[in-house]
């Protein structure tokens, strides 16, 4: 992925200056068929253009190599904005005394993680508002 730059493009029958980013894929053609590689790249492009769902692996710094959780972020239109829903799964696979749990169990641990994610999303919203005000 390259940096985002304003570039002239055809949009809705007119030439407009829009933020654009080039996306490239490298692969070993001896191992991966070009058709599958292009299909994958097209899907990545579609997800970037119309993001509705993002799933990623999340690992705390103190996780062992085989320990991981999964974060799913959903984006839905809501009124004049976007509702962002975060689900963080996989904690049940970690032992109850794992350091990432901060000696919390059950609803106390869920509340702590919910507050943490709330802080992260608030910071992102504030950054988006700042960037939008500068545009």
Active site residue ranges:
29, 33
Q: What Å distances lie between residue 63 and 9, 94, 110, CA to CA?
A: 45, 9, 18
Q: Are 23 and 3 in contact (CB under 8 A)?
A: no
Q: What Å distances lie between residue 90 and 21, 56, 70, 86, 101, CA to CA?
A: 33, 12, 6, 13, 12
> Alpha-carbon distance 17 to 43, whole Å?
24
Pairing of strands 69-78, 81-89: antiparallel
- Angle, CA of 18, 24 and 27, to the nearest 5°: 165
Both structure tokens of 95: 């032992």
């Amino acid at each position: 992925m390259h940096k985002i730059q304003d570039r002239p493009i055809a949009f809705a029958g007119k030439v407009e200056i829009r933020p654009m980013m080039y996306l490239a894929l490298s692969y070993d053609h001896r191992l991966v068929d070009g058709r599958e590689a292009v299909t994958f790249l097209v899907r990545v492009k579609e997800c970037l253009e119309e993001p509705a769902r993002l799933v990623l692996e999340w690992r705390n710094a103190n996780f062992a190599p085989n320990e991981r959780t999964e974060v799913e972020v959903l984006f839905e239109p809501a009124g004049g904005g976007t509702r962002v829903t975060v689900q963080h799964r996989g904690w049940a696979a970690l032992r109850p005394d794992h350091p990432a749990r901060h000696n919390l169990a059950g609803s106390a641990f869920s509340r702590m993680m919910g507050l943490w994610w709330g802080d992260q999303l608030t910071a992102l919203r504030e950054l988006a508002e700042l960037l939008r005000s500068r545009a």
